Amino acid sequence: YGTCEDHNAPTGTGVSPYAINADPLTHERVTVNDAYLDPIRDRPNLSVIGDALVDRVLFDSANRAVGVKVRLDGEWRTIEAGEVLLAAGAVHSPAILLRSGVGPETGLPTGEGLQDHANAVLFLDYLPGQGPTMPDDRHTNCCVRYSSGLADAGTNDMMIVSMNHSPRSRHGGLLVGWVNQSFSRGSLRLSSPDPEDHPIIEENMLSDPGDVVRLRDTVRRMIELTRQRSFDSAVSGVGLDGQGTPIESLETDAEVDAWLRGSSSDAQHICSTAAMGRVVDADCKVFGFDGLRVIDASVFPEVPRANTHLMVIALAETMATRL
């Protein structure tokens, strides 16, 4: 693998330092609240209300959004608005839309087409004196973004990251590979009309054979990486799970595929549940309704071939210029 400076760049192919939006001294994550809201909290035209549960968007007889129904201090209230912007994330923005009647009954596939990055994880045991020393130490140092050349995928369709911390113990890390370009699609639907109830998510990962073929190839690549001499200086063992199942148990394609279907998880990059071109237009306006936009990862037509945080911020900044 070659090297690159920035894996988030369109040309970011190869091995690079893993970008983290954190303070380099305190290691604390710089949230959008830190970067965008805190500096302007004193603006007279800004009100931030916490502990608020939004039930639904309210419309007039002409299908124009006029506000939201929200629970504050235990009471349901109506907050009026000239325009409603939903930014509750790719899980709860579509859930609010569905509770508002913005879905199949109005001809919109709200909640359909969900995507995420299906992954495969290898557990690494550190030799004494290796690995992080504190829980707040940097969680990931480097990654490799590459093109598999399989299943007609595009460039940079795959990613492998080395994570310093493991959920298994204080003395282990992880290798995580995922399909940057996902072909599988899932769905989100309401479990009930109650906004307290979380929606039902069917990620349907690895349902597309092209995802399975490429993630299987990534597993082979990760296993090969662990057999390089550089690993011997820091890692004492590699396992398939928290119980230390050896990687040697994966020999055939069928064994790899069975392991993937039983252990693969998502990368917490859910997208495309109110996608542009299907539920919203290029300005994030919901088709068939006035005064209503969705501005979060819900609107991505497909999950990007990169981590989603930076792209969400870019979307929000772009939409802010169009309001």
Mean pLDDT of 133-144: 85
Tell me: the pLDDT tens digits for 147-179? Answer: 999 999 999 999 999 999 987 777 799 999 999
CA-CA-CA-CA dihedral for 79, 81, 86, 87, to nearest 10: -80
pLDDT band for position 269 (cuts 50, 70, 90): very high
Q: What percent of the chain has pLDDT over 90?
A: 82
Cα gap 314→165, rounded to integer Å: 29
Interval 73-113: pLDDT, tens: 999 999 999 999 999 999 999 999 999 999 999 999 999 99
Query: Going by DSSP bridges, is the β-strand pair 172-179/119-126 parallel, antiparallel, or unpaired?
Result: antiparallel
11 pLDDT tier (thresholds 50, 70, 90): confident
pLDDT of residue 182: 97
pLDDT in tens, 296-320: 999 999 999 988 999 999 999 999 9
Beta sheet of 172-179, edge-to-edge order: 14-17, 140-146, 158-163, 172-179, 119-126, 235-239
Beta carbons of 248 and 279 less than 8 angstroms apart:
no
